[in-house]
Amino acid sequence: MNNPLVQPDPGLYIWTIVTFLALLGLLTKFAWKPLLKALDDRRKTVEAAVEDARKAREQLERAEQESGKVVAKAHVEAEDLLVRARGDAERFRQEQREKATAEAAAITKNAQKEIQRETAKAVDTIRKETVDLSVAIASKLLKRQVNAADQDALLQDALKEIEQPGR
């Protein structure tokens, strides 16, 4: 069995080792280094993406906290605004009540003054009619016509008698 392919040949060994080392050198230079560089670049890109995602998450959390604070502040301001609006409405109602009360008091006071004027006018009219009636009765009793001077004197006497509280 002398097969030349199975027989060890030292030249073939050397050429196989040289070819293997040359191929290994070429693969290292042109395939392995670019492959390692590509993997390193990919690792750096992934790390950068992870870092960016972490930063984005932190920013999102800060934004959510800030928006929560803004919403809480808006609720407080809205509640404050409602309280102030209710207070303003209550003050307005109170002012309107006070104004209406003051107007009612003024109307009542004016009505009382008008009543007093009308009463005084009516009393004055009654006095004049009483005096005229008294003069007419006195004139009939005396059977004579009373002149203006007598009428004034009688008028003054009658007024004095009417105004005296004991009578």
Rounded distance between C-alpha atoms, residue 102 and residue 141, angstroms: 57
- Residue 136: the pLDDT is 72
The conformation of residue 147, written as its DSSP 8-state character, comes to -
Shortest CA distance to 18 belongs to which of 10, 30, 7?
10
Rounded distance between C-alpha atoms, residue 130 and residue 162, angstroms: 10
pTM of the model: 0.40
Q: Which tens digit of pLDDT belongs to each residue from 89-121?
A: 999 999 999 999 999 999 999 999 999 999 999
Burial letters 91-126, b for 16+ CB under 10 A, else e: eeeeeeeeeeeeeeeeeeeeeeeeeeeeeeeeeeee
Q: Which tens digit of pLDDT belongs to each residue from 17-38?
A: 999 999 999 988 888 888 889 9
Q: Diameter of the chain by CA atoms?
A: 197
